[in-house]
């Protein structure tokens, strides 16, 4: 099933999610997604347009700068049970390397980029965001922040990274993770013209203990 979105737009027309991003440990059990720090630019304002489509903002004529990327996956327990009705939030800098946050360079921000989005997972644990391919932020390799709040479970905050980025080798937070943990937060974007011309598709399941 498609996820329930918080906001005005729905992505129900997109193809079903695939399990390609699921990390599996020995014995067939899914390995949990590692936690990381929230960072200094967690959104302080969720009013207005804050749905799962970060590329088009209500009231803005131009859409976001940068390459469109569809981020999809499933939220599951470590035993493979899908976790429905969970809230997932993402936030990231825009194509100029600026966060939607009063402590960043607000005057230079891309007004066409929503900066943060949230949704509720579907019955199959599925989620789907439309955003941009993350870009370099001063001192950091490209990444997307993720917050997961599932009923009856402690919140998870993590970050997702892009495989092959030169900055990965120098990024302190990424390299604090073990090699196996890094694998669980890597995105491997592929061309997705079947979804949207010129867009990318990145799939990554999120696994909770």
* Mean pLDDT, 10 residues at a time, the chain of 209 residues: 42 35 47 97 97 96 97 97 98 98 96 98 98 96 98 97 98 97 98 98 97
pTM > 0.85: yes
Rounded Cα distance, 208 and 169, in Å: 26
Classify domain 4-135+174-208 at the CATH class level.
Answer: mainly beta
- Where do the structural domains in the chain lie, given as residue ranges? 4-135+174-208
Q: At 108, is the secondary structure helix, strand, or coil?
A: helix
**Minimal CA–CA distance to 21: which of 162, 182, 168, 186?**
186
- The tokens describing 128, both together, are 């789907």
């Amino acid at each position: 099933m498609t996820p329930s979105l918080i906001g005005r737009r729905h992505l129900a027309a997109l193809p079903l999610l695939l399990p390609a991003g699921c990390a599996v440990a020995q014995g067939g059990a899914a390995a949990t997604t590692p936690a990381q720090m929230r960072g200094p630019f967690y959104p302080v304002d969720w009013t207005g347009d804050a749905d799962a489509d970060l590329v088009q903002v209500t009231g803005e004529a131009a859409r976001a700068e940068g390459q469109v990327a569809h981020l999809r996956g499933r939220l599951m327990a470590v035993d493979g049970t899908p976790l429905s009705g969970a809230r997932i939030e993402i936030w990231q800098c825009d194509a100029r390397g600026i966060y939607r946050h009063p402590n960043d360079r607000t005057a230079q921000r891309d007004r066409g980029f929503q900066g943060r989005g949230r949704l509720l997972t579907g019955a199959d644990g599925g989620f789907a965001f439309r955003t941009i391919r993350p870009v370099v932020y001063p001192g950091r390799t490209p990444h997307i922040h993720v917050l997961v709040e599932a009923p009856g479970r402690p919140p998870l905050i993590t970050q997702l990274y892009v495989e092959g980025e030169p900055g990965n080798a120098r990024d302190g937070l990424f390299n604090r993770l073990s090699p196996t943990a890094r694998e669980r937060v890597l995105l491997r974007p592929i061309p997705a013209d079947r979804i949207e011309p010129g867009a990318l598709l990145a799939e990554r399941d999120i696994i909770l203990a």
